[in-house]
């Protein structure tokens, strides 16, 4: 006879969002820690976190001059974002899926933050059909782009 569990079993959304929180711990960026994962048929096909490209010194170790300048107070939070060499969590998850040869068509993405407009464009063109997040990004256009492209958007807090 089965015993009664003390803890509630998480829903799939809760489960994958908790895993995205774990993934974000691998972030090597001075400015932000975010994590994403791509799920297809309830199986994780890739993960991504904010960080520098392969072979480049980690941002935490001084690899990104823009982030270092921001930390020193030489530039403001959203200044010179285009010069940051760190890759967003959503971008890294899509890139890693491609690198491993996994199709993202029809997949879902779970992320600890809503996408910026650049990431939203990648999500749309990667064929991801559902995006779940738990914190809004300052760039509100990302969510609007997903909705215009008929990507289902949900918030999981």
Catalytic residue check, 14:
no
Q: Could you tell me if 85 and 53 are in contact, meaning their C-beta atoms sit under 8 angstroms apart? A: yes
How far is Cα 47 from Cα 45, in angstroms, rounded to an integer?
A: 7
Q: Which of 14, 18, 65, 90 is catalytic?
A: 90
Please give the angle made by the CA atoms of 17, 31 and 157, to the nearest 5 degrees.
25
Tokens matching residue 16: 């994958």
How far is Cα 102 from Cα 117, in angstroms, rounded to an integer?
A: 24
Which ranges in the chain belong to alpha helices (H)? 12-23, 65-71, 89-100, 117-125, 141-148
Around Cβ 157, how many Cβ atoms within 10 Å? 6
Active site residues: 90
């Amino acid at each position: 006879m089965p015993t009664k569990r003390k803890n509630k079993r998480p829903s799939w959304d809760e489960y994958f969002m908790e895993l995205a929180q774990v993934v974000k711990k691998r972030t090597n960026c001075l400015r932000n820690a975010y994590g994403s994962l791509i799920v297809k048929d309830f199986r994780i096909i890739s993960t991504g976190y904010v960080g520098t490209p392969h072979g480049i010194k980690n941002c935490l170790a001084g690899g990104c001059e823009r982030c270092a300048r921001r930390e020193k107070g030489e530039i403001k939070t959203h200044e010179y974002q285009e010069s940051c060499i760190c890759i967003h969590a959503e971008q890294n998850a899509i890139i890693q899926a491609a690198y491993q040869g996994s199709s993202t068509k029809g997949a879902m993405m779970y992320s600890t933050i809503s996408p910026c407009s650049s990431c939203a464009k990648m999500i749309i063109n990667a064929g991801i059909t559902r995006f779940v997040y738990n914190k809004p990004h300052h760039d509100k256009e990302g969510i609007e782009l997903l909705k215009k492209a008929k990507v289902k958007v949900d918030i999981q807090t």
